[in-house]
A = this chain, B = another copy of it.
Amino acid sequence: MGKLVIVGTVAFDAIETPFGKTDKILGGAATFIGLAASQFEVDSAVVSVVGGDFPNEYLELLESKSMDISGVEVVPHGKTFFWSGRYHNDMNSRDTLATELNVLADFKPVVPENFKDADYVMLGNLHPNVQLGVLEQMEKKPKLVVLDTMNFWMDNTWDELMEVIKKVDVITINDEEARQLTGEHSLKVAARKIQEMGPTYVVIKKGEHGALLFNGGNAFFAPALPLEEVFDPTGAGDTFAGGFIGYLASVDNVTFESMKNAIIYGSTLASFCVEKFGTERMKHLSANEVRKRLQEFKKLTQFEIELT
């Protein structure tokens, strides 16, 4: 059972989709990553910051899912990071209605003492300097560092992002971001160029079109499960990443073969996340439901052609 450090936002989200809208509910990258990773036998700690307005029940939820939250700073007179967005009818695009950094603006991550020797580190989508700050606190080189990032950091903090990209083993980004990062349209070419920047493994998330894993000359693909409806895509990418690193930490093995399974687990968990608003589905997800859906994934993708 590997130790896993997760840095990322713990936040309030307010979401509008064609199916409805929410008030301020529990959200944030670290929240979704941690909930997904909690499906595995892994010792995880969340490094984040919230304000005095953050309900205790949310923190208790994370703890109840076996997360160490001693690295979640509470700023008594501060306000929790807030994001609000509205999804379009096709669910593939969204408008950001509000982003209030609040306590996140001055966030100085602190990795708990007993997690400084963790072998697995998930750098959730945040300012690259915060991500670097976590890496600098690790006492030994982790077996695997996974970086998630987005176009905002490419637009605004390119140099800092390049610094952190150099230091990670895996990067997870979406297809448009892979193209922006490299100026290449072909994802195969883009993945090769990103590997030259640092990460040995490149995971390209294509939303409803699945996810690709590249490593040297190897490639692996997992589709998204075809769903009757996508209720709320918020957190799907983080859930994917949490399932990915959670699986790897639990098997404590970072070969290409185990990463293939990690991609399948990530896709499987993400397929649940989008079924309800926010964290609702992930909060109440049983191992049995996950196993059944993995079976669906196998049926969806596995075939028998004997090649001589």
> Chain B residue with minimal CB distance to A305?
B261
* CB–CB B305/A264 < 8 A: yes
Minimal beta-carbon separation of A184 from chain B (angstroms) = 10
Which A residues lie at the B interface, using CB under 8 A? 89-91, 185-189, 206, 209-210, 212, 214, 218-221, 223, 226-230, 257, 260-261, 264, 291, 294-295, 298-305, 307-308
Q: How far is the CA of A308 from the CA of B294 in the complex (A)?
A: 11
A-B contact pairs, 18 of them (CB 8 A): A89-B185, A91-B185, A186-B228, A186-B229, A186-B230, A188-B227, A209-B209, A210-B210, A210-B223, A219-B299, A219-B300, A220-B299, A220-B300, A261-B304, A291-B308, A298-B305, A298-B307, A301-B303
Contact B264 A220 (CB under 8 A): no
For the complex, what is the distance from the CA of A7 to the CA of B218, rounded to whole Å? 39
Smallest CB-CB separation from A263: which chain B residue?
A: B303
Q: Is the CB of A303 within 8 A of B260?
A: yes
Question: How far, in Å, is A145 (CB) from chain B's closest CB?
Answer: 23
Contact B303 A264 (CB under 8 A): yes
Are A90 and B185 in contact, with the CB atoms below 8 A? yes
Q: Is A223 within 8 A of B226, CB to CB?
A: no
> Which of A230, A257, A261, A302 has the most chain B CB atoms closer than 10 A to its own CB?
A302
Determine the distance from Cα of A218 to Cα of B301 in the docked complex, in whole angstroms.
11
Option from B206, B212, B228, B301 in Cβ contact (under 8 Å) with A221? B301
Chain B hits for A218, CB < 8 A: 299
Minimal beta-carbon separation of A93 from chain B (angstroms): 13
**Closest 7 interchain pairs by CB?**
A209-B209, A188-B226, A221-B223, A260-B303, A221-B300, A261-B305, A301-B301
Chain B nearest Cβ from A239, distance in angstroms: 18
Across the interface, which residues of B come within 8 angstroms of A90, CB to CB? 185
The chain B residue with its CB closest to the CB of A204 is: B226
A156: min CB distance to chain B, Å: 26
- How many Å from the CB of A266 to the closest CB on chain B? 12
- In the complex, what distance in Å separates the CA atom of A106 from the CA atom of B120? 68
With A90-B185, A206-B209, A210-B223 known as contacts, the answer to whether A261 contacts B303 (CB < 8 A) is yes
For A260, what are the chain B residues with a Cβ–Cβ distance below 8 Å? Answer: 303
Give which listed residue, B89, B219, B221, B294, contacts A307 with CB less than 8 A.
B294
Q: How far is the CB of A220 from chain B (nearest CB, A)?
A: 6
Q: Which of A186, A226, A298, A299 has the most CB of B within 10 A?
A: A226
Kindly list chain B residues whose C-beta atoms are within 8 Å of the C-beta of A223.
210, 221, 223
Complex CA gap A294/B305 in Å reads 9
Question: What residues of chain B lie closer than 8 Å to A188, measured between beta carbons?
Answer: 226-228
Are A291 and B307 in contact, CB atoms less than 8 angstroms apart? yes
